[in-house]
Amino acid sequence: AAPFLDVRDLRVHFPTEDGIVKSVDGVSFTLEKGSTLGIVGESGSGKSVTSLALLGLHKGTRAEVSGEIRLDGRELVSLPEHDMRTLRGRTVSMIFQDPLSALHPYFTVGAQIAEAYRVHHKVSKKEARDRAVEMLKRVGIPQPERRVRDYPHQFSGGMRQRAMIAMALVCDPELLIADEPTTALDVTVQAQILDLIRDLQEEFGSAVVLITHDLGVVADIADDILVMYGGRRIEYGTVHDVLKEPQHPYTWGLLESMPQITGDVERRLNPIAGSPPSLINPPGGCAFHPRCTYKGWVPGGRCAVERPELVSVPGTGRHLAACHLTPETRQEIRVRTAAGA
């Protein structure tokens, strides 16, 4: 059977005065119901733009979108905005980084969750309100009958995030997109929210796309990892394969910059030096080469001139990586790194 979500060769290009910004440039992935895909990258890698395309939020903008997004057999890239609107919130739903961008300050939390439900269901106000109370309870908000009447500013940051999750799930969506859902929260609350997303996914059986700059977040919760750089895929596979034998030097860098939690102090070690590539005029060859400390291991200066294809990692099922390093060289680098050389 076809995958539940099947994204093929997705491109999102924005024409600007300075040239065409290729935010997403040929991205493909699949996702099944009940599974989580973590899309990982720095800001500007194209991960958020990919998620906005899944929601059809580029429609009516100047963005040029091509490729295919098939959700349960239905093609979304070419779907008119009117039809997309009936899917948004009901079939596909989103949790944003900042709950205050999704929650209106002048309406009670309960009224907003109830309204999100009534957009797609013909129910009375009373029924919608009961549904809001039930959802607040399911996302772990204490005294939901009372809190349903509160305004967003009366909630703590973590509670607001829970309320936004309640709103995103009120229509039981089949695909949930979470863009940096825990970035604004402190470490303890982050862990609680991730647990909540995982529990709710089990309960609701939806497919989840989790967008993050933090590989540590996806390590715990995702089934598959897609690492993006400059709008392209540079590594893709199961969490197991990618974390056990990461292939791409950029992924190595992300792993080294994973937060080390000691007590409640979060330390970041070795962030990747340099800046993300231009999306208008990306570097030739491998887009990562200006920042890559391993390009010297590839003979002939090839990294600067030839873009590596995304190819299957020998001996794996569907682990893909785009890097010129050979398996032998990678192994040698690993040995030297382990030896502290």
Nearer Cβ to ligand SF4 (8/307): 307
Rounded Cα–Cα distance for residues 330 and 317 (Å): 19
Q: How far is the CB of 232 from ligand SF4 (least distance, A)?
A: 12
> Which residue stretches of the chain are H helix?
47-54, 81-87, 99-102, 109-118, 125-138, 144-147, 157-169, 187-204, 215-221, 239-244, 249-256, 327-338
Binding mask 59-78 for ligand SF4 (x = CB under 6 A): --------------------
Site membership for ligand SF4, residue 298 (CB under 6 A): yes
Beta carbons of 212 and 226 less than 8 angstroms apart: no
Question: How many angstroms separate the CA atoms of 208 and 38, rounded?
Answer: 8
* Interface region with ligand SF4, contact rule CB under 6 A, candidates 52-60, 90-98, 258-266, 320-328: 320-328
Binding range to ligand SF4, per CB under 6 A, among 103-111, 175-183, 200-208, 318-326? 318-326
Choose among 43, 45, 87, 44: nearest CA to 69.
Answer: 87
Q: List the single partner that 48 binds among ligand SF4, Mg ion, none, CB under 5 to 8 Å by kind.
A: Mg ion
303 lies in the site for ligand SF4, by CB under 6 A: yes
| Exposed / middle / buried, residue 335 (Cβ in 10 Å: 0-12, 13-18, 19+) | exposed
Q: What is the DSSP letter of 152?
A: G
Contact pattern for ligand SF4 over residues 246 through 285, marking x by CB under 6 A: --xx------------------------------------
**Taking the complex as a whole, how short is the minimal distance between the CB of residue 43 and Mg ion, in angstroms?**
6
Structure tokens at 182: 């825990």
**Buried/exposed 201-218: b ≥16 CB within 10 Å, e otherwise:** beebebbbbbbbebbbbb
C-alpha 311/C-alpha 309 separation (Å) is 6
CA 174 to chain centre: 16
Nearer to Mg ion, 48 or 91 (CB): 48
Residue 288 interacting with ligand SF4 (CB under 6 A): yes
How near is the Cβ of 48 to Mg ion at its closest, in Å?
A: 3
Position 131 contacts ligand SF4 (CB under 6 A):
no
Residue 48 in contact with Mg ion, rule: CB under 5 A? yes
Q: Site size for ligand SF4, by CB under 6 A?
A: 14
Distance of CA 200 to the CA centre of its chain: 17
Report the partner that residue 193 touches, choosing among ligand SF4, Mg ion, none (CB closer than 5 to 8 A by kind).
none
Residue 295, contacted partner among ligand SF4, Mg ion, none, CB below 5-8 A by kind: ligand SF4
Could you please report the per-residue DSSP string of 67-136?
EEEEETTEE-TTS-HHHHHHHBTTTEEEE-S-HHHHS-TTS-HHHHHHHHHHTTS---HHHHHHHHHHHH
Contact segment (CB under 6 A) with ligand SF4 among 26-34, 65-73, 152-160, 289-297 equals 289-297
> What whole-number distance in Å separates Cα of residue 196 and Cα of residue 279?
35
Task: Name the residue with the smallest CB distance to Mg ion.
Answer: 48
How many residues touch Mg ion (CB under 5 A)?
1
Least distance CB 194 / Mg ion (angstroms)? 17
161 counts as binding Mg ion under rule CB under 5 A: no
Query: In this structure, are residues 242 and 69 in contact, taking their beta carbons and an 8 Å threshold?
Result: no
Question: Where along the sequence are the contacts to ligand SF4 (CB under 6 A)?
Answer: 248-249, 286, 288-289, 292, 294-295, 298, 303, 308, 323-325
Question: Where along the sequence are the contacts to Mg ion (CB under 5 A)?
Answer: 48
